[in-house]
Amino acid sequence: ETVRLDVHGMSCTSCAMRVEKRLNQLDGVEASVNYATEKATVHVPEGTDHQVLLDAVAATGYEATLPDAHRGHGDHAGHEGLHGAASMRRRAVVSAVLSLPVLVLSMVPATQFTGWQWVALALATPVVTWGAWPFHRATATNARHGAATMDTLVSVGVGAAYLWSLWALFFGGAGMLGMRMEWSFTGGGSHEIYLEVAGVVTTFVLAGHYLEANAKKQSSAALRALMDLGAKTVTLLRDGREEQVPIDDVAVGDVFVVRPGETIATDGEVVDGASAVDESMLTGESVPVEVGEGDAVTGATVNVGGRLVVRATAVGSDTRLAQMARLVEEAQEGKAEVQRLADRVSAWFVPGVIALALLTFAGWLVIGGTLTQAFVASVAVLIIACPCALGLATPTALMVGTGRGAQLGILIKGPQVLESTRRIDTVVLDKTGTVTTGEMRVVDVAPAPGVEIGRLRALAAGVEHASEHPVARAVAALVDQPLPVTDFANHPGMGVSGVVDG
């Protein structure tokens, strides 16, 4: 049995690795957790209580829910939280506005007026406390479970720079009015403050998280757009009367009407009528398909010809459109080999960086450096390592790739497939309609002997103007002002007839 969980509160790939490791410790469970999609795909023995899985995720400090409990395909709006795009954007903008003056004051001695350091403290404090709060909160949560993530590096680095500055201002002489800070590569002593480091690093990391969250949001929007192709209402035939109902009220066996130009509500079989159906969203083929009584039609395709009466054969999650959306979701949830490599590196990355920072601090003291020099060097190690591009970029790129493909009508079966496309050197297209504009037009007219071509165009366009068939529209476009038609009749599968100009 395969169970899919939505996991909330993860802020980096290290978080996903912890959740995945915890789930895989359960008997008979094989789990894969994708940070980019915030989903876990769990293979469990038949009959396993799903609450056991939810409790296992909760034990690592995160929240998990079953997707059907609160939302449909691709809807991430309900659990944006502290790491959502809107929250990150707001914090990044405010932090940037407050940090810029601090950066200028700290780095340009000519701007350092009397008492400037206290103004810098006032501006930097909201950035370090409120702006960086998602990182501090995640660090505290992970610490309670004996773990460290990318957020730990941000929180410790920013916090160290800020706390050092507080110490220097209140106890180290940096708070004296008239104090000036000059350029230095190694730190100048206990009067040096690093508020600009705390503010600017917080701003940059927030901006990076916003871009990442926004990319995930756009990819989810592509999946929602795929689902939105389906009809929202349907005209049911009940006791010979037409009744408009929401699509959710349709059951297998219900008979419904599809008029020209309408979207077919769900998968079904034509029981009456004949028409042409645009199946380009399903097949990529721009030429409409002729359908008649007994033919199968697919939900979300468009009826471009006559009136159809259809009996529903599949509804809801059993439709082909839902299966397409599920395929895209599964593709986004999977992991390519390069992503698994990134996850393995990320698992050792954070503790490695923290250990390296401690060694750097101790090394400077051993070789005779000052406490200030040791502090500056160790904080630099933490700060530089904060945005782990390998851990963040890989899953996000795979997710955006599959989501954008779905938006353009290209279904990618999995990240392994996307990764393997780098070896493609030849592309073969089996349908000419796939690479054309999708709009029919007349390219040549061959009149019979003695028939004037202009007259033939006018007569043909006049009778076809009354038809809604795609081929008819192309013929009707031959003239600007079609002649009026009388006695018009549509002959399914054969064409149309009518009287034009007597």
* pLDDT tens digits for range 312-355: 999 988 888 888 777 777 766 666 676 667 666 766 777 888 89
With tokens 């963040």, the residue in question is 392
φ, ψ of residue 403 to 5 degrees: the values are: -70, -45
List where CATH 3.40.1110.10 sits in the chain: 453-500
Burial class (CB in 10 A: 0-12, 13-18, 19+), 422: exposed
Q: What percent of the chain has pLDDT over 70?
A: 84
Give 2-65's CATH code, choosing from 1.10.1270.20, 3.30.70.100, 3.10.180.10, 3.40.50.300: 3.30.70.100
- The set of residues, in sequence order, having a beta carbon less than 8 Å from that of 163 and lying 6+ positions away, is none
Q: How far apart, in Å, are the Cα atoms of 348 and each of 37, 191, 359, 388?
A: 22, 36, 16, 12
Distance from C-alpha of 20 to C-alpha of 10, rounded to nearest angstrom: 12
**498 has pLDDT over 80:** yes
Distance from C-alpha of 297 to C-alpha of 276, rounded to nearest angstrom: 10
Alpha helices in 194-319, H assignment, sequence order: 195-227, 280-283
**pLDDT reported for residue 230:** 80
Q: Which CATH superfamily is domain 453-500 in?
A: Calcium-transporting ATPase, cytoplasmic domain N (3.40.1110.10)
DSSP letters along 116-184, please? Answer: HHHHHHHHHHHIIIIITHHHHHHHHHHHHTT---HHHHHHHHHHHHHHHHHHHHHHSSTTSTT------
Q: Which residues are identified as catalytic?
A: 430
Both tokens of residue 454? 């202009």
Q: 303: alpha, beta or left, given left = phi > 0 and alpha = psi -120 to 50? A: beta
Local confidence band at 390 (pLDDT 50, 70, 90 cut-offs): low
On whether the CB atoms of residues 276 and 474 are closer than 8 A, the answer is no
For residue 152, give the nearest of 123, 132, 129 by alpha carbon.
Answer: 132
Residue 99: in which H helix or E strand, if any?
Answer: helix 85-107
pLDDT in tens, 219-254: 666 666 666 778 889 999 988 889 999 988 899 999
pLDDT in tens, 57-81: 998 888 899 875 434 444 444 445 5
The length of the chain is 502
Q: Are strands 302-303 and 275-278 parallel, antiparallel or unpaired?
A: antiparallel
The rounded mean pLDDT for the chain is 82
Burial class (CB in 10 A: 0-12, 13-18, 19+), 320: middle
With tokens 């009287």, the residue in question is 499
- Which pTM value belongs to this model? 0.66
Distance from C-alpha of 160 to C-alpha of 149, rounded to nearest angstrom: 17
List where CATH 3.30.70.100 sits in the chain: 2-65
Q: What is the end-to-end Cα distance of the chain in Å, rounded?
A: 70
Class of domain 233-315: mainly beta
Distance from C-alpha of 8 to C-alpha of 1, rounded to nearest angstrom: 23
φ, ψ of residue 186 to 5 degrees: the values are: -120, 0
Give CA 313 to chain center in angstroms: 31
pLDDT, average across residues 468-476 = 81
Distance from C-alpha of 308 to C-alpha of 317, rounded to nearest angstrom: 23
Give CA 435 to chain center in angstroms: 27
More confident residue, 454 or 148: 454
Q: 220: alpha, beta or left, given left = phi > 0 and alpha = psi -120 to 50? A: alpha
**216 has pLDDT over 70:** no
Distance from C-alpha of 132 to C-alpha of 201, rounded to nearest angstrom: 10
CA–CA–CA angle 32, 38, 41 (5° rounding): 30
List where CATH 2.70.150.10 sits in the chain: 233-315
For residue 304, give the nearest of 452, 474, 183 by alpha carbon.
Answer: 474
**295 has pLDDT over 60:** yes
**pLDDT reported for residue 236:** 93
**pLDDT reported for residue 184:** 63
Please report the beta strands in 21-108, taking only residues with DSSP state E, as ranges in sequence order: 30-34, 39-43, 63-65
Residue 244: in which H helix or E strand, if any?
Answer: strand 241-246
